[in-house]
């Protein structure tokens, strides 16, 4: 068995296990940590597909920004209180059964799928390299790239202004 296949199987197991633990965990902080591990294992899948740029962007955007945002939301909402009503065991059992059924269906689909057999025609151009993507972003798509950065800056300023507490004077 090749090292790529072993890495794929290990990353797939980590992805599925942490996705299940994200849903099953009672503590929202633990769920967020399991989700971060799941995102990193998905980035590993991108690396196996030789998409380094996509893997790095995935780590920066999802594992970095989105998870920090989720953790701040969890901390601000104080979801860690234990005075909420617990779900009945039948609901948790149903979730487990549904998860197992979905895994069986996906495994069946992957086992019965046939690979595409044919000749691969290569033009010799490398569209995966960061150098080529940087040239395209900063030459052909410079204006939309700058509009996106201004939009993100305005959204960040808006989030800061919304979270700022006003002083109450009497």
Residue 141 domain-assigned (yes or no): yes
Residue 18 domain-assigned (yes or no): yes
Distance CA 11, CA 55 (A): 14
pLDDT of residue 43: 93
pTM, rounded to two decimals: 0.58
* 75 and 142 within one domain: no
Residue 100 domain-assigned (yes or no): no
Which whole-number Å values give the CA distances from 72 to 28, 65, 77, in the listed order?
Answer: 11, 11, 8
Q: For 9-19, how does the pLDDT look when each residue is reduced to its tens digit (9 = 90+)?
A: 999 999 999 99
* 2 and 72 within one domain: yes
Q: The domain containing residue 4 runs over which residues?
A: 1-80
* Final residue of a structural domain among 64, 80, 96: 80
Given a contact cutoff of 8 angstroms between Cβ atoms, the answer to whether 46 and 58 are in contact is yes
Mean pLDDT, the chain, whole residue set:
82
Determine the average pLDDT of the residues in 135-161.
83
Distance CA 59, CA 43 (A): 7
Residue 137 domain-assigned (yes or no): yes
Residue 152 domain-assigned (yes or no): yes
Distance CA 11, CA 25 (A): 20
* 62 and 2 within one domain: yes
Residue 89 domain-assigned (yes or no): no
Count of the separate structural domains present in the chain: 2
* Final residue of a structural domain among 46, 80, 114: 80
**Which residues 6+ apart lie within 8 Å of 45 measured at CB?**
8, 11, 12, 15
Instruction: Give backbone dihedrals phi and psi of 93, rounded to 5 degrees, phi first.
Output: -65, -40
Q: What percent of the chain is predicted at pLDDT more than 90?
A: 22
Q: For 106-134, how does the pLDDT look when each residue is reduced to its tens digit (9 = 90+)?
A: 899 888 888 777 777 777 766 667 777 78
Residue 109 domain-assigned (yes or no): no
């Amino acid at each position: 068995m090749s090292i790529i296949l072993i890495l794929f199987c290990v990353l797939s197991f980590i992805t599925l296990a942490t996705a299940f633990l994200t849903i099953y965990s009672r503590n929202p902080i633990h769920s967020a940590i399991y989700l971060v591990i799941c995102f990193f294992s998905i980035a590993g899948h991108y690396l196996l597909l030789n998409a380094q740029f996509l893997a790095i962007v995935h780590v920066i955007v999802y594992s970095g920004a989105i998870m920090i945002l989720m953790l701040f939301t969890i901390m601000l909402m104080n979801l860690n209180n234990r005075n909420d009503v617990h779900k009945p065991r039948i609901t948790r059992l149903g979730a487990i059964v549904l998860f197992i059924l979905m895994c069986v269906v996906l495994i069946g689909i992957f086992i019965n799928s046939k690979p595409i057999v044919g000749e691969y025609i290569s033009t010799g151009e490398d569209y995966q390299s960061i150098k080529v993507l940087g040239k395209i972003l900063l030459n052909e798509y410079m204006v939309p790239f700058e509009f996106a950065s201004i939009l993100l800056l305005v959204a960040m300023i808006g989030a800061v202004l919304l979270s700022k507490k006003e002083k109450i004077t009497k």
